[in-house]
Amino acid sequence: MFVENQIIKDEYRIIRKIGEGGMGTVFLAEDLQMQQEVAIKLLHMAMTTDPEIVERFKTEAKAQYKLTHPYIVKLTRLVQNGEHYFIVMEYIEGMTLKEMLAKTGLLPEDRALPIFHKILRGLAYAHSQGIIHRDIKPGNIIIDKNGNPKITDFGIAKILGDKGLTQTGTKLGTVYYMSPEQIKNPKGVDQRTDVYSLGITLYEMLTGKLPYNTGLDSEYDLMNEIVNTPIKNPLDFYPHISPGVVKMIYHMTYKDKLERYAHCEEYLDFHLRKPEKDEKQSTAQNVSSGAASFVLLLGLAALVVLLFIFGNDIQRWIQGSKASIDSVFVNQDSIDRVEYERLQDERNKEKKKKEKDTVKPKDEKPVDTVKTEKKPVDEETIPPDTTGN
């Protein structure tokens, strides 16, 4: 273990301890030759006593040395000091994303997405160089004083995973951020395992929570949940996340890695894309199928209530409608009756007209006549209709 002001190999002076993780302890040190501050990670002895692991560290260090990107912590050397090995890296003044979330609880979308996009670019660059991180999590992302992320600890997780080692008793990858395929077959993962882990990291950034049950005591139960149980809806924890970002989180954390994008760049504008026609139809179908049962049940309930309240009125209305229809029904008898009344009316009019046309003489005095009883109009005989109507 290093102590303050200790000189290491006449090249580095230890300033202070700045952190400790599953793989080792991190110190702030001064590069005496370059006169600049660096970070030194002293690897645990348990990881450096195996010659095979040491050779793997050297191989990985050479690969990481080639990574030069603004959002990746630059590794400069892997140094042996007696029985100890330590990694020399550029020093980033700031705090880890884990420490930031512990202070803020969560990050609003307008702060989280710029950080997320820069991490995506850093990972995309590493993947293009054939390097998979395998341990993306807030503790391995440093936020510098300008708010830019820096990814650290590339490759070390692969070495430990291939040897079946753990990080201070915790399985590779810090279980909460591990992809399902990483749990089932650690040696068979590809760059999409980083996509999944970053999706879980984004979930935590936006909600301040993890999408799985953090109260489980059994590591097996937690792994089983990651492999088989869908993540919790992020809107349940924080409702102010845009639909496109929610959809992106779900896409990045598909259980089947083949359903995730293989290239990080494809997620840079994912949340801004408009759904394609098939996606719109699928969404509409899902919404309609989910709501159909509820609407049908609601309609049936409303019908029952209406029948209960207005049952008698509805019955009377139906009967009245039927009577109304029956009353306007026209048959042949009705037609004959109408025709009879029409002819009778015409005959009466004609008789009245003849009576008016008869003029009495002026000198003639009215003669008393015997009144004869006239038959009522309705008793007069009407000639039978010979027209055939």
- Domain coordinates of the chain in residue numbers? 7-90, 94-276
- Mean of the pLDDT values across residues 274-296? 52
Query: Nearest CA to 151 among 177, 121, 175?
Result: 121
pLDDT band at residue 294 under the 50/70/90 scheme: low
C-alpha–C-alpha distance, residues 385 and 161, integer Å? 114
- 30, 37 contact by CB (below 8 A): yes
CA distances 330 to 106, 337, 338, Å, are: 81, 11, 11
The CATH architecture that domain 7-90 belongs to is: 2-Layer Sandwich (3.30)
**Which ranges constitute the DSSP H helices of 25-149?**
45-48, 51-65, 97-104, 109-128
Residue 337 CB burial class (10 angstroms; 0-12, 13-18, ≥19):
exposed
pLDDT at 30 over 80: yes
**DSSP β-bridge partners for residue 25:** 20, 42
7-90 against 94-276: fold identical: no
- Mean of the pLDDT values across residues 184-207? 95
pLDDT band at residue 275 under the 50/70/90 scheme: low
With a pLDDT cut of 90, the percent of the chain lying above it is: 48
In this prediction, residue 53 carries a pLDDT of 76
Q: Which two structure tokens, joined as six digits, stand for 244?
A: 């496109």
Model pLDDT for residues 327-357, shown as the tens digit of each residue: 444 455 555 666 677 777 877 877 777 776 6
C-alpha–C-alpha distance, residues 197 and 71, integer Å? 17
SS3 assignment, position 333: helix
10, 135, 217, 385: the active-site residue = 135
C-alpha–C-alpha distance, residues 160 and 171, integer Å? 10
C-alpha–C-alpha distance, residues 132 and 295, integer Å? 49
- Mean of the pLDDT values across residues 13-17? 96
pLDDT at 378 over 60: no
In this prediction, residue 105 carries a pLDDT of 95
88 DSSP assignment: E
Rounded mean pLDDT of the chain?
Answer: 80
Q: Is there a catalytic annotation at residue 313? A: no
C-alpha–C-alpha distance, residues 61 and 65, integer Å? 6
In this prediction, residue 171 carries a pLDDT of 47
pLDDT band at residue 24 under the 50/70/90 scheme: confident
pLDDT at 282 over 90: no
pLDDT at 365 over 80: no
72 DSSP assignment: B
Model pLDDT for residues 84-129, shown as the tens digit of each residue: 889 999 999 999 999 999 999 999 999 999 999 999 999 999 999 9
- Tally of helices (H runs) and strands (E runs) in the chain: 11, 9
In this prediction, residue 280 carries a pLDDT of 47
264 DSSP assignment: G
Q: Which two structure tokens, joined as six digits, stand for 368?
A: 């008393």
Q: Which two structure tokens, joined as six digits, stand for 240?
A: 């102010």
- Mean of the pLDDT values across residues 135-155? 92
C-alpha–C-alpha distance, residues 102 and 100, integer Å? 5
Other C-beta atoms lying within 10 Å of the C-beta of residue 67: 18
Give 56 or 99, the one with higher predicted confidence.
99
The C-alpha R_g of the chain, in whole angstroms, comes to 47
* Residue 79 backbone phi and psi in degrees, to 5: -115, 140
- Mean of the pLDDT values across residues 314-330? 53
C-alpha–C-alpha distance, residues 28 and 58, integer Å? 22
pLDDT at 325 over 50: no
Give 313 or 66, the one with higher predicted confidence.
66
Query: Nearest CA to 153 among 281, 38, 26?
Result: 26
Model pLDDT for residues 204-243, shown as the tens digit of each residue: 999 999 999 888 888 889 999 999 999 999 999 999 999 9
Query: Nearest CA to 100 among 238, 204, 200?
Result: 204
C-alpha–C-alpha distance, residues 178 and 160, integer Å? 14
- What is the fold, at CATH topology level, of the domain defined by 94-276? Transferase(Phosphotransferase); domain 1 (1.10.510)
pLDDT at 73 over 70: yes
